[in-house]
């Protein structure tokens, strides 16, 4: 259950209002001036690997921090699960916490990206985008902090990165065919925010009771 929820949080991060509008711009970076799909595909994979490295490091740190609190596992789960529920209510605009509201779009003038440059681009992206996807990333890291096994934590962050990364890679291949999909998502952001918030709330409830 938790693996599915973390994967869905990754997808929710991708379709969030401050990531999705930037996707066509990033894909144009990946494809380069010659607009080659093979190049876009390769660079998008490097991009995903880049931010996955940073998020994995954060997951390891969260897991190690959680080990310090291992003697208070039940209490920690209740507290952190409640935090995730609050994040979900905030994302649905039921509460007005807005912890992650100060997002500044990441601006770069990139030309002739290759695999290595795209990898570096991904690591910079992970830092700049954290305030935007912070609600979902924080939820994933909180869950990882409650795990006593590091391997489970790494698997969870891998699934989160996969949920965020697969749409990027698919978009790099089919960007010219996905305009209608993007437009549909933009027109239905309110519904999507509610569904995404519910995913967070379910995650919080799951953490408290399981």
Q: Are 153 and 3 in contact (CB under 8 A)?
A: no
Look-up: residue for tokens 């190690």? 64
pLDDT at residue 98, as a whole number = 60
pLDDT at residue 103, as a whole number = 47
Q: For residue range 178-207, what is the model confidence (pLDDT) as tens digits?
A: 778 888 888 888 898 899 999 999 999 988
Q: For residue range 103-161, what is the model confidence (pLDDT) as tens digits?
A: 455 555 556 678 888 898 899 888 777 666 778 888 999 889 888 789 999 999 999 99
- Residues 92-121 as b or e (16 or more Cβ within 10 Å = b): beeeeeeebeebeebeeeeeebeeebbbeb
pLDDT at residue 159, as a whole number = 97
Q: For residue range 9-32, what is the model confidence (pLDDT) as tens digits?
A: 999 999 887 788 888 888 888 887
3-state helix, strand and coil shares in percent for the chain, rounded to the nearest 5: 80, 0, 20
Contacts of residue 197, Cβ cutoff 8 Å, sequence gap at least 6 = 88, 89, 90, 91, 92, 94
Structure tokens at 115: 């695999």
Closest CA to 84 of 137, 131, 128, 11: 137
pLDDT at residue 27, as a whole number = 84
In angstroms, rounded to a whole number, what is the distance separating the alpha carbons of residues 200 and 197?
5
- Prediction pTM value: 0.84
Residue 172 in this model has a pLDDT that exceeds 90? no
* Domain count along the chain: 1
Task: Give the domain extent around 165.
Answer: 2-209
pLDDT at residue 34, as a whole number = 63
């Amino acid at each position: 259950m938790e693996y599915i929820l973390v994967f869905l949080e990754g997808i929710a991060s991708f379709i969030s209002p401050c990531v999705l509008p930037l996707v066509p711009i990033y894909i144009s970076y990946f494809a380069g001036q010659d607009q080659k799909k093979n190049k876009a595909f390769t660079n998008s994979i490097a991009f995903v690997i880049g931010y996955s490295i940073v998020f994995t490091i954060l997951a390891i740190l969260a897991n190690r921090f959680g080990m310090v609190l291992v003697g208070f596992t039940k209490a920690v789960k209740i507290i952190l699960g409640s935090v995730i529920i609050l994040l979900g209510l905030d994302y649905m605009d039921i509460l007005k916490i807005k912890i992650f509201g100060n997002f500044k779009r990441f601006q770069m003038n990139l030309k002739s990206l290759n695999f290595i440059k795209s990898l570096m681009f991904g690591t910079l992206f992970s830092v700049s985008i954290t305030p935007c996807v912070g609600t979902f990333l924080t939820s994933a890291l909180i869950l990882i902090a409650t795990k006593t096994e590091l391997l489970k934590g790494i698997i969870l962050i891998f699934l989160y990165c996969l949920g965020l990364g697969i749409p990027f890679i698919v978009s790099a291949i089919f960007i010219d065919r996905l305009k209608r999909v993007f437009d549909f998502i933009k027109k239905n952001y309110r519904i999507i925010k509610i569904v995404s918030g519910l995913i967070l709330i379910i995650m919080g409830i799951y953490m408290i009771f399981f």
